[in-house]
């Protein structure tokens, strides 16, 4: 099985396991990721998702070059749209997705990380979009998401040179949220996920909507979206429970309604 799923404490860990290929993406992996997304979306027991790669060397080292080499103009477009569709579904899951980047995150691997909500990288990780070295460009959203996260100038340099950057540099430019010692990315991602799943599920989902969709809106429209979602939160049982728990000085018991 190239994509493994493990659910514990409301955290679904999705592990890409093609260690002999440095966890490179192929059609089977994309299908496995889609199945994990479907499960996370439909299963109320899943409060957060962690995506990582098996082994100590790679998160996802890129796409499977053997597959890419066979592309025609038509199949190449379909290939890109398929990956874009799955990564967009991951990005819009409605539940936080944390990338535990435990090694190389290049090409499609970097694009997978970009589609996640939060990114944690081991200090030995390398991230980049080396597609120009193969005569192509990022096809799974890298040319779009990278610029939105780190800015146009930095995205241009990363994509046009094809050179990878270190975890430290990725942190400096805002590409990753945290850098941790080698081998500790998954543990750090679990720590973040545990803090998130302890919060009110609807408030988490609405906060993600406000930030994600608000970025594409003029400020006034974004503020209107925020106010609307704030009002929706005020109708929930979780809001009443959260307020009561605070006033009563006890931990809240959120139920997602």
Asked whether 99 and 120 are in contact (CB, 8 A), the reply is yes
Shared domain for 231 and 192, answered yes or no, is no
Residues classed as catalytic: 111, 131
pLDDT of residue 1: 84
Give residue 161's pLDDT band: very low, low, confident or very high (50, 70, 90). very high
- At 28 the three-state DSSP class reads helix
Shared domain for 177 and 208, answered yes or no, is no
| 174-232 pLDDT tens trace | 999 999 999 999 999 999 999 999 999 999 999 999 999 999 999 999 999 999 999 99
Within a domain: residue 19? yes
Within a domain: residue 89? yes
- Work out the average pLDDT over 75-102: 95
| 15-50 pLDDT tens trace | 999 999 999 999 999 999 999 999 999 999 999 999
- Beta-bridged to residue 60, according to DSSP, are 105
In CATH, what number is assigned to the domain containing residue 20?
Answer: 3.90.226.10
Tokens of 251: 């931990």
- The pTM (predicted TM-score) of the whole model is 0.94
Shared domain for 117 and 237, answered yes or no, is no
Asked whether 84 and 140 are in contact (CB, 8 A), the reply is yes
Shared domain for 48 and 124, answered yes or no, is yes
| 12-22 pLDDT tens trace | 999 999 999 99
| 62-86 pLDDT tens trace | 887 888 888 899 988 999 999 999 9
Domain span at 147: 3-197
Shared domain for 192 and 206, answered yes or no, is no
Within a domain: residue 252? no
């Amino acid at each position: 099985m190239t994509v493994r799923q493990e659910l514990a404490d409301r955290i679904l860990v999705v592990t890409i396991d093609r260690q002999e290929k440095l966890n490179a993406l192929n059609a089977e992996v994309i299908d496995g990721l889609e199945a994990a997304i479907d499960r996370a979306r439909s299963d109320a027991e899943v409060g957060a998702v962690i995506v990582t790669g098996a082994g100590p060397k790679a998160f996802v080292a890129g796409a499977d070059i053997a597959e890419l080499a066979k592309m025609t103009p038509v199949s190449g477009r379909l290939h890109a749209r398929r990956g874009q569709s799955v990564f967009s579904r991951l990005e819009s899951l409605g539940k936080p997705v944390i990338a535990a980047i435990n090694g190389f995150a290049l090409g499609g691997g970097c694009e997978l990380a970009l589609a996640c909500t939060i990114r944690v990288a081991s200090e030995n990780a390398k991230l980049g979009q080396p597609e120009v070295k193969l005569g192509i460009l990022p096809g799974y959203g890298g040319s779009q998401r990278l610029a939105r996260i780190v800015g146009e100038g930095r995205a241009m340099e990363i994509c046009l040179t094809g050179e990878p950057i270190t975890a430290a540099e990725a942190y400096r430019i805002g590409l990753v949220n945290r850098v941790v010692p080698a081998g500790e990315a998954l543990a750090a991602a679990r720590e973040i996920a545990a803090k998130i799943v302890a919060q009110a599920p609807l408030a988490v989902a609405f906060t993600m909507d406000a930030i994600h969709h608000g970025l594409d809106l003029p400020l006034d429209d974004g503020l209107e979206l925020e106010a609307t979602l704030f009002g929706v939160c005020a109708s929930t049982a979780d809001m009443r429970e959260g307020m009561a728990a605070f006033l009563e000085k006890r931990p809240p018991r959120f139920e997602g309604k």
